[in-house]
Amino acid sequence: MSKKVLVISLLAIASFFASCLDSKSDANSANKQVVVPKSQPIVTVLPFTAPSKSNITADKANAYAKASNGLVELGVKWSEKIDKAKDFEKVQILNAYNVARDQLCARAGLQGGIAEYDWITEVAMKNPENKAVFEQAGFKVK
C-alpha cells in the first residue's frame, strides 16, 4: 500500500513540475524546442531521531538556511495549485507536497527531511549557544 502512495505522490510531483512549464506561446514558438527540466532521482530521507544536545554545526545551519528558502518558494507554488484544485484532488496534492518538502530538505543537506527541519526550528533555534552559527548562516536570532 505504501508503495502505491509513493508512486502516486511521485506522479503528482512530476505532473506539477510538468505543468509549471510556461504555457504562453507566440508566433515563433512553433520553431522553438521545448526544454524539459531533467528529473532528479528520489533522495532517501532517513528517519530522524532528535540528538541529545541541541547544538548544531555551521554545515547544519547552512543546510537549514537553504531548506528554509526553498520551503518558502515551494509553499507559494503549491498553495496556488491547492487553491485551484477540486476538493477530491486536494488530498493527493497535499500528500505530494509533503513528499516534496521531505525531498527538498534532504537535498539541502537535512537527511532527516522535514522532521529534522522542524526540530531545528523548534529546538536548536531556541538554544542560545547556536546564535552565532545561525547568524553566520544569515538568520537574525533574538
Supply the pLDDT for residue 1: 47
Q: Residue 72 is part of which domain span?
A: 2-21+47-136
Domain count, the chain: 1
Cα maximum dimension of the chain: 62
pLDDT for 72 beyond 50: yes
Is residue 37 a part of any domain in this protein? Answer: no
Is residue 57 a part of any domain in this protein? Answer: yes
Q: Which among 103, 4, 98, 92 has a CA at the least distance from the CA of 46? A: 103
Spatial separation of the C-alpha atoms in residues 9 and 44, rounded to whole Å: 15
Q: What is the pLDDT of residues 20-62, one digit of tens each?
A: 444 444 444 444 454 545 566 788 899 999 999 999 999 999 9
Entry pTM: 0.68
- Cα 3 to Cα 28, 34, 46, 96, distances in angstroms: 43, 32, 17, 13
pLDDT for 110 beyond 50: yes
Is residue 141 a part of any domain in this protein? Answer: no
Is residue 27 a part of any domain in this protein? Answer: no
